[in-house]
Amino acid sequence: METRVAVIGIIVEKPEAVERLNGILHEYREYIVGRMGVPYPKRGVSIISVAVDAPTDQIAALAGKVGNIDGVSAKTAYSNVRG
């Protein structure tokens, strides 16, 4: 199955959403290449970037589940790198 490299940018506005977010990321752990989180207390948010190498449908499913969490926003940037 063909995979693509992508980055999912996540903004967490509600701290109570973190447990659910981590659960979803754990479900997709086989596709996650790396993850970086930066707290931004001045604005009361956390900024997370997740690098993935996965089939396009799995990337979309992950981003969709994350984006459906109350208090969390997610956007995906796809590369042209395919495997």
pLDDT digits (tens, 9 = 90+) for 54-72: 999 999 999 999 999 999 9
- 15: domain CATH number is 3.30.70.1150
Which residue range(s) make up the domain with 75?
4-82
d(CA 68, CA 72): 7
- What's the domain count of the chain? 1
CA 10 to each of CA 25, 40, 69: distance values in angstroms, whole numbers, following the listed order: 11, 13, 11
* C-alpha to C-alpha distance for 60 and 56, rounded to whole angstroms: 6
Query: Which tens digit of pLDDT belongs to each residue from 23-39?
Result: 999 999 999 999 999 99
